[in-house]
Amino acid sequence: MIVQIPAVLGAAQVRAAREALERAPWVDGLATAGHQGARVKRNRQLAEASPLALELGQMVLAALERHPLFISAALPHEVYPPMFNRYEGGETFGAHVDNAVRLLPGTGRKFRTDLSATLFLTDPDTYDGGELLIEDTYGAHSVKLPAGDLILYPSSSLHRVEPVTRGVRLASFMWVQSMVADEGERNLLFDLDTAIQRLAQTNADEAARLQLTGCYHNLLRRWIKV
């Protein structure tokens, strides 16, 4: 399931992040590439432990914690510290699948990547190319979102970033370890939660809404792994 999360960051937050990133020192994106990614990755990124990456990462995490659609779709147990990348001058990231397990910086703990996320920080009309192409059973989906919006998709998906041929593409990227590891179960819970919210907004049968809410939480208890 691919879910667009609108307005994770507001206009002022995006502007402040972009201004800070324009002055930032960048390192070769290969610094965090796995064996597979190293063959096709050509971009730059902030050093993971840099003060700016940590500061902006905390801003992104705080925004995600307040976004009900992200919580509903991801059911996050933990979010990998957000990182930041930059594409320009033909830079690209070829087709790859994200590593299933990463080590959390500074802890040595293993982190399972259930979901991947890209938060766009530059408006789509300011650069050419740079589309994120995500493949699933229905084909390839091209994603190029307004600044401040985020795309959430299964980390098991084959995906790539098209070459940026004009301007600069700035983004934050991260992974989510969900409380519900199984993608099918997570998708069912998301559909059920979406239906419950629609019932609440339309003042539909309250007894039916409460019954469905009970089903949602009982399924969550059955499937959750924390």
Give me the pLDDT at residue 187, please.
97
DSSP annotation of 83 reads E
Please check if 96 is assigned to a binding site. Answer: yes
- Percent of the chain exceeding pLDDT 70 equals 97
- Percent of the chain exceeding pLDDT 90 equals 86
Tokens describing residue 185: 């179960």
SS3 159: strand
Per-residue model confidence as pLDDT tens digits over 45-68: 999 999 999 999 999 999 999 999
Provide φ and ψ at 83, rounded to 5°. -115, 170
Give me the pLDDT at residue 108, please.
87
Residues 12-41 have a mean pLDDT of 85
Could you give the dihedral angle defined by the CA atoms of residues 62, 119, 141 and 162, in that order, rounded to the nearest 10 degrees?
-160
Give me the pLDDT at residue 33, please.
63
Per-residue model confidence as pLDDT tens digits over 63-80: 999 999 999 999 999 999
pLDDT at 14 over 80: yes
pTM of the model: 0.94
pLDDT at 225 over 90: no
Residues 5-11 have a mean pLDDT of 98
Please check if 159 is assigned to a binding site. Answer: yes
Per-residue model confidence as pLDDT tens digits over 145-164: 999 999 999 999 999 999 99
* Radius of gyration, CA atoms only, the chain: 18
Q: How far is CA 215 from the centre of its chain?
A: 28
- Please report, in angstroms and rounded to a whole number, the separation of the first and last CA atoms in the chain: 22
Tokens describing residue 95: 């087709």
Mean pLDDT, rounded, of the chain: 94
Q: DSSP string of 6-57?
A: TTSS-HHHHHHHHHHHHTS--EEGGGG--TTGGGTEE-EE--TTSHHHHHHH
Tokens describing residue 199: 């019932």
The residue among 127, 162, 166 whose CA lies nearest residue 146 is: 127
Give me the pLDDT at residue 37, please.
61
* Cβ neighbour number for residue 211 with a 10 Å cutoff: 12
- The answer to whether 66 touches 7, Cβ cutoff 8 Å, is no
Q: How far apart (Å, rounded) are the C-alpha atoms in residues 1 and 186?
A: 9
Per-residue model confidence as pLDDT tens digits over 92-139: 999 999 999 999 988 889 999 999 999 999 999 999 999 999 998 888
Give me the pLDDT at residue 34, please.
60
Tokens describing residue 6: 């609108």
Please check if 77 is assigned to a binding site. Answer: no
Q: What is the spatial order of strands in the sheet that 139-143 belongs to?
A: 41-42, 92-96, 158-161, 132-136, 139-143
pLDDT at 218 over 70: yes
